[in-house]
Structure 1
Amino acid sequence: MSFTTTNRSVEKPSSLACLACRRKHLKCDGVMPACGRCRKGQLGCHYTPSRRGYKPDSRGQYAVTYAPTPILTPSPEFTLPTGIQLTPQLSTFSFISTPLPGTTAATEDFSSDQSSSVPIWKAADHHNPYDQTSLGAGRPAAALGSQYPTTDLRGDSYLIDFYYAYFHDSHPILPPVHFLPRMYPLPACLEATIKFIGAHFVTDITPNAYRSAVTAAIAESEESCYKVQALLLLSITLHGRNERGEGVKAFTEAARLAMKLGMNMRSYAPSVVGEDPVMCENIRRTWWEVYMIDAMFSGFDQTPCQISSSVIMDVPLPCDDISHSTGIYLTEPPTAAQFYDRIFEDEEDSKEYSSYCHAIEASRILKRTLDLTYAPEDPEYDQIESIDANIGSWFHHLPPSKRDILAVDDEVDQIMFRAFMIIHCASIYLHTPQSNLLSTPVAISSIPCARRWIRLLRTSPSTNLTHAIKSIKAANGLANLAALRSPGIKHSPFFICGMVLSALVQLCACSVRASGKLEPRRDRIALLIGELKSLGPTWSISRLVMRHIKMVAREVLEIGVRPPAYSAIEDNGPDIVTIVNSDLWLGDIPLE
């Protein structure tokens, strides 16, 4: 919509009111293009002509011209790929005030809690995508309805809503949705990647239709922090799609470019975005996300770490969660040294750190653990004890607010969720090689996300039960994460790999009869299989690993072999010799 006001010489109570104020029955000052309340709350401010027959008086105090918002329809210059439908199945997720195809801004629902709507009150200039008069002459009018810049697939901006609804919380390297306009116009590579990810959560859209557009946009984009963000998000998505080879390549390029640009240095963010605290924070988060994903690719896809311990990093850690969501920064972000030395501070001087800080520390511990498996010689026992102490310290020094990742409103802190997953995986990688769990046939089953097990077999297993107990305890911790009554679709795709590790440790424990009863292990394996099944429609790697975990579990638990009734004689466990002699269930799974 566009409005012009003329001859407003006398201040009187406004006869106009925007939709948001009308719905809340609040007094509106009628200021355009956005009223004071909408500016303060960062809401989308929309006006419609009065339906009560109001007309300006003869003095012409208000002369308002109204231009309806164009409907979002595909540009006639573009043909939608096969399988694309412009009507989303979950239209209730209106995180961004973008009219859906077939609607106009006047029909949107401006509820009282829509604090995350994108504001559309920016002054008209050549950088403002909402200023339709600056988009150039000759463009089709239908193509001007989107609040986003040029795109390959018109009318699909609602996919950004799905990205923020299902993916953003687990990897929040972009601004919160209400600060997204600060990045406008969105770089083409980043916009294409966001929509590609969002398409995975819409039932009637084929994400493959966006695959080539993402690759082309990234290849054509110049080197910048936004290209790093696009490559990083793409690598995570490709891993979930079981395109793991391409995912590793995308991440390797993201890490190389991040270090080339100097994103690991404090001075980089201000040099790119100035003193904008919101954008500086998201550039810092991007670097630390690269650092964390490096550990996960190394652990689950057996690639050497791209960021070694010798890389200088003086970029501050992410700020606290409230500052990030509100954009109000009252304190300086902490340094890595301040966070790591917090355990020696006096209690009265201690402060709250963000969930990201604890997740970064967990990733650092995982990197230390993985370095032992790549070492040419067997690790010294002192090194193992040192990392084990580090893992224990991580749990002991969690503040009370971070120990429960499920809040009273059933919302999960996705970053703390990932932090617990990482620390449990570190414990499994540390203790399993030192236990007798690797002496079972399950340990050499080649399942995606668990190929590192074969590398660990070079270590001579110990008869010390302490390592086996700690490994099983970590596997139970991963199963407990899967047991949370929360939408698993919002978790990081890497959680699928964590569940694979948990299931294999449980199956190894069943093979060596680590306890007198198989039922608790069986129940946890069933839980993990159920969670993998629920993620299958979104991430194809989940379907693959679920199928092979089932195959291994049938052999270990002797499903379909046991007699209908349990014998009164004590169960001696599965016949390991028979399993070893049968290699039908140990077929190597191709990487791709």
Structure 2
Amino acid sequence: MSSATTSSNSPTQFNDGTGATTPGLSSGSSDGKGSQPPPPPSVPAACLACRSKHLKCDGMTPCSRCLSSNSECIYVASRRGYKGPRRNPAANPNKRHASDSPPVSTNGDSCPMLLGHTPVQVPVTTMSVSGFNPAIILPQADPASPYSGPPGGLASLQVFRNPFLANHAASRPMGLATTPPTQQMPTLPERCFEAFYHFFHAGHPFVLPREQMLRLLNDGKTQLDAVATAMRWIGSLYIDAGPARAIYLDEAIRLCYLPSTPKDGFLVQALLLIIIGLDGSCQQERARELLADCERIALEINLNTRSFAAMHGGGNAVIEESWRRTWWDLYVCDGMIAGVHRVTNFLLFDIAADVALPCEEHEYLTGDIPQPMYMEDFDDQIFSGEDRPFSSFAYRIAAARNLGRFMRTPITLFPGDENVAKIESLLTNWRIHLPESKRHNINKKCKLDEMMFQGHFITHACSIMLHQPLSQLDSSPTRAVTSCAPHRPVATGQEFNVHTQHTVTAAYEISQMITMPVPVLSHTHFFTCVVTLASIVHLSKWALYFIHDEEDLRQQIRLNIGALTKISDVWKAADTACGQVKGVAQEIYRAKKAQQINPAFWVGFTQEQMISSINADEGIMAEFDGMLAVTQGQ
């Protein structure tokens, strides 16, 4: 039969537009089954020469057109529309063969990952993010499921892994799940526990790392009840815990003073956490009472000795490191409380201790504890010729020790006192002998090094306390700033001296620490009083009759107020300090405005400088007024 002949009972040849014909089914056949024979195999229907000229080819070899034109007649099988043999078309109509191309969807909202399937209309209420459950959308394998899907069901849909599920759940198709996945919300104690490690632990890293602590808690060790409750109270300060916050504090203190609570390192840890939290919550008197008890217990159990860690570590190097860190963090906190509040006298500075120095933070968190070194090694490193790396925690301890030495120095009454030079030598030696990796507050992984951060601000604060009484900055305008320590009167002077330069430089460095690319709440709350101390210096300088860098100084004051405002989200002490600093700034501004009324004030100013100074003053005071309004409205 020729290619041009057709019949109702024979396969129909459809022209593909190039002269080629494609086998198909006649209009009288509804499927590929029945009495009709299977379609013949595909054969070349047009040669390349006829195809290129869009002419009909007779299919002969060679064809009549090539024969007449004396052309080379070549046949190549056409693949247009060919999908291979279909032995079982009804088995899976949605199955994509290797030769298929993804069909183009006519619905602009359909997902391209569904490979052309008809989009399923899902109620909007089932797609809320908070209550998303794939089991609501996809039917369960259980035939008794009350879900009734659209005609044909959704069982044939090709599903994909959900990246938001746990690894074990994401490894199997959702359509094959026998039970719907559930998301169990963490309890309030769990949230507080996680908040402790997320926000607080890096600033005072003496409690065991999270995994180690969870392991001990799961073992049901009762001596951990006090420290675990204290940790939850600290964590509750960073989240919305409601009345549970006060309950955790009362319970933590009760557990610490129970007769059945053993006097051990965990009790010292619990008390130290409570002390830090109370100090930042404007309960300094109560914190000092607990500090005295904590120090007494630490000395009774010999926490300050080299042998304590080995005797009570149970052969666990991480627990031994935790005991060493507990003593040294108690030492540093005792010094910072004494330095910023100037009420206590840094008792532990005079206590003999031969506890090994802590290791680096990443070593502690990973459990890779190196051979410990001691303070003697730290002091002799210049003279011994041994190039030993010491941890950031060790430099933090050395900074606190310099603070203790300053506090034991008699009060100076005149600038030429040799004791001032001795303390300044200690502070300068701490700075210039830092290794390159410790000179900044960023570690090798470009993350904040909180231990070095604290070491630097302790040194800057010590420099201010050493030089401010001998400077030429009149402190009387800042006498209202007493949130951290009582006012220290400093007489005014006519010109800057070297002590004034030391004081101003240290205050500037503290303000620059605020600009670190990390949340200010990631620092210990003791940073509050250090920022307040720097603010007193800035305000004292701003109160002078005339200064050349007034615009830069105003920016430093604005920076400090912003930091205190942010820290006050958690720590009440920062809120009190912030209000006092802003109040003093307003008083100084009013005094400077009154001076500007006097024409003698503007002697030496150009008109442009006068306008610039007035606009700058108006701008900063408008910002201060806005901050005060927000604070009062809270």
Range into which the TM-score falls when normalised by the shorter chain:
0.5 to 0.7
Matched, 1:418 2:418: no
Which of 536, 551, 554 is the equivalent residue of 2:583? 551
Q: What one-letter code is carried by the residue in structure 2 that aligns with 1:478?
A: I
What is the CA–CA distance in structure 2 between the aligned matches of 1:493 and 1:325, rounded to whole Å? Answer: 22
Residues 455-492 of structure 1: CA deviation (Å, up to 9, x unaligned) = x65x9989771001001100011101112121111110
Matched, 1:324 2:364: yes
**Inter-CA distance 309–174: structure 2 relative to 1 (3 Å threshold):** closer
Please give the secondary structure, in 1, of the residue aligned with 2:482. coil
Matched, 1:343 2:382: yes
Contact 1:434/1:461 (<8 A) preserved: no
**Inter-CA distance 483–156: structure 2 relative to 1 (3 Å threshold):** same
1:110 CA displacement: 5.6
Q: What one-letter code is carried by the residue in structure 1 that aligns with 2:390?
A: Y
Which of 557, 560, 565 is the equivalent residue of 1:533? 565
1:225 CA displacement: 1.1
Contact 1:410/1:486 (<8 A) preserved: no
Which of 360, 373, 378 is the equivalent residue of 2:397? 360
Q: TM-score, normalised by structure 2?
A: 0.62
Matched, 1:403 2:439: yes
Residues 490-510 of structure 1: CA deviation (Å, up to 9, x unaligned) = 110000000000000111112
Residue 623 of structure 2 aligns with which residue? none
What is the CA–CA distance in structure 2 between the aligned matches of 1:405 and 1:356, rounded to whole Å? Answer: 12
**Inter-CA distance 379–231: structure 2 relative to 1 (3 Å threshold):** farther
**Inter-CA distance 306–252: structure 2 relative to 1 (3 Å threshold):** farther
Within a 5 Å distance, the mapping from 1:115-126 to structure 2 comes to: none
Which of 195, 203, 207 is the equivalent residue of 1:170? 203
Q: What one-letter code is carried by the residue in structure 2 that aligns with 1:193?
A: A
Residue 631 of structure 2 aligns with which residue? none
Residue 344 of structure 2 aligns with which residue? 304
Residue 29 of structure 1 aligns with which residue? none
**Inter-CA distance 527–421: structure 2 relative to 1 (3 Å threshold):** same
**Inter-CA distance 315–110: structure 2 relative to 1 (3 Å threshold):** farther
Residue 63 of structure 1 aligns with which residue? none
Q: What one-letter code is carried by the residue in structure 1 that aligns with 2:377?
A: Q
What is the CA–CA distance in structure 2 between the aligned matches of 1:156 and 1:475, rounded to whole Å? Answer: 40
Within a 5 Å distance, the mapping from 1:341-490 to structure 2 comes to: 341-346=380-385, 349-372=386-409, 381-407=417-443, 411-437=447-473, 439-451=474-486, 453-454=487-488, 465-490=497-522
Q: What one-letter code is carried by the residue in structure 2 that aligns with 1:344?
A: F
Q: What one-letter code is carried by the residue in structure 1 that aligns with 2:375?
A: A
Residue 5 of structure 1 aligns with which residue? none
What is the CA–CA distance in structure 1 between the aligned matches of 2:353 and 2:416, rounded to whole Å? Answer: 28
Q: How many residues align?
A: 425
Residue 287 of structure 1 aligns with which residue? 327
**Inter-CA distance 407–262: structure 2 relative to 1 (3 Å threshold):** closer
1:444 CA displacement: 3.0
1:517 CA displacement: 2.7
Which of 233, 237, 253 is the equivalent residue of 2:273? 233
What is the CA–CA distance in structure 1 between the aligned matches of 2:452 and 2:242, rounded to whole Å? Answer: 31
1:320 CA displacement: 2.9
Residue 531 of structure 2 aligns with which residue? 499
Q: What one-letter code is carried by the residue in structure 1 that aligns with 2:435?
A: P
**Inter-CA distance 297–502: structure 2 relative to 1 (3 Å threshold):** same
Matched, 1:218 2:251: no
1:450 CA displacement: 3.0
Matched, 1:159 2:192: yes
Which of 212, 218, 233 is the equivalent residue of 1:196? 233
Please give the secondary structure, in 2, of the residue aligned with 1:557. helix
Within a 5 Å distance, the mapping from 1:105-124 to structure 2 comes to: 109=166
Residues 47-98 of structure 1: CA deviation (Å, up to 9, x unaligned) = xxxx999xxxxxxxxxxxxxxxxxxxxxxxxxxxxxxxxxxxxxxxxxxxxx
What is the CA–CA distance in structure 2 between the aligned matches of 1:265 and 1:557, rounded to whole Å? Answer: 54
Please give the secondary structure, in 1, of the residue aligned with 2:590. coil
What is the CA–CA distance in structure 2 between the aligned matches of 1:180 and 1:194, rounded to whole Å? Answer: 11
Q: Which stretches of structure 1, 4 residues or more, deviate above 6 A after TM superposition?
A: 376-380, 459-464, 571-574
Contact 2:437/2:443 (<8 A) preserved: no
Contact 2:280/2:525 (<8 A) preserved: yes
Please give the secondary structure, in 2, of the residue aligned with 1:156. helix
Please give the secondary structure, in 1, of the residue aligned with 2:358. coil
Please give the secondary structure, in 1, of the residue aligned with 2:484. coil
What is the CA–CA distance in structure 1 between the aligned matches of 2:494 and 2:397, rounded to whole Å? Answer: 31
Contact 1:554/1:560 (<8 A) preserved: no
1:570 CA displacement: 4.6
What is the CA–CA distance in structure 2 between the aligned matches of 1:312 and 1:537, rounded to whole Å? Answer: 39
What is the CA–CA distance in structure 1 between the aligned matches of 2:338 and 2:438, rounded to whole Å? Answer: 26
Contact 1:192/1:213 (<8 A) preserved: yes
Structure number with bigger Rg: 2
Please give the secondary structure, in 1, of the residue aligned with 2:189. coil
Which of 515, 518, 521 is the equivalent residue of 2:550? 518
Contact 1:162/1:201 (<8 A) preserved: yes
Please give the secondary structure, in 1, of the residue aligned with 2:418. helix
1:560 CA displacement: 9.2
What is the CA–CA distance in structure 2 between the aligned matches of 1:376 and 1:400, rounded to whole Å? Answer: 34
Residues 550-583 of structure 1: CA deviation (Å, up to 9, x unaligned) = 010111233894779x996457999xxxxxxxxx
Q: Which runs of 5+ in 2 are unaligned?
A: 1-138, 142-163, 169-183, 615-634
Residues 293-346 of structure 1: CA deviation (Å, up to 9, x unaligned) = 1111111222233435442111111123342122123x4211101012212343
What is the CA–CA distance in structure 1 between the aligned matches of 2:539 and 2:403, rounded to whole Å? Answer: 23
Contact 1:425/1:498 (<8 A) preserved: yes
What is the CA–CA distance in structure 2 between the aligned matches of 1:487 and 1:561, rounded to whole Å? Answer: 35
**Inter-CA distance 312–408: structure 2 relative to 1 (3 Å threshold):** closer
1:392 CA displacement: 0.9
Residue 208 of structure 1 aligns with which residue? 246
Q: What one-letter code is carried by the residue in structure 1 that aligns with 2:583?
A: M
What is the CA–CA distance in structure 2 between the aligned matches of 1:293 and 1:191, rounded to whole Å? Answer: 20
What is the CA–CA distance in structure 2 between the aligned matches of 1:164 and 1:109, rounded to whole Å? Answer: 22
Contact 1:443/1:508 (<8 A) preserved: yes
**Inter-CA distance 204–285: structure 2 relative to 1 (3 Å threshold):** closer
Contact 1:428/1:475 (<8 A) preserved: yes
Please give the secondary structure, in 2, of the residue aligned with 1:164. helix
1:518 CA displacement: 1.4
1:255 CA displacement: 1.5
Matched, 1:256 2:296: yes
Q: TM-score, normalised by structure 1?
A: 0.66
Contact 1:435/1:462 (<8 A) preserved: no
What is the CA–CA distance in structure 2 between the aligned matches of 1:164 and 1:268, rounded to whole Å? Answer: 26
1:277 CA displacement: 0.9
Structure ranking higher on relative contact order (CA contacts 8 Å, 6+ apart): 1
Residues 114-165 of structure 1: CA deviation (Å, up to 9, x unaligned) = xxxxxxxxxxxxxxxxxxxxxxxxxxxxxxx999xxxxxx752231110000
What is the CA–CA distance in structure 1 between the aligned matches of 2:208 and 2:505, rounded to whole Å? Answer: 37
Contact 1:440/1:512 (<8 A) preserved: no
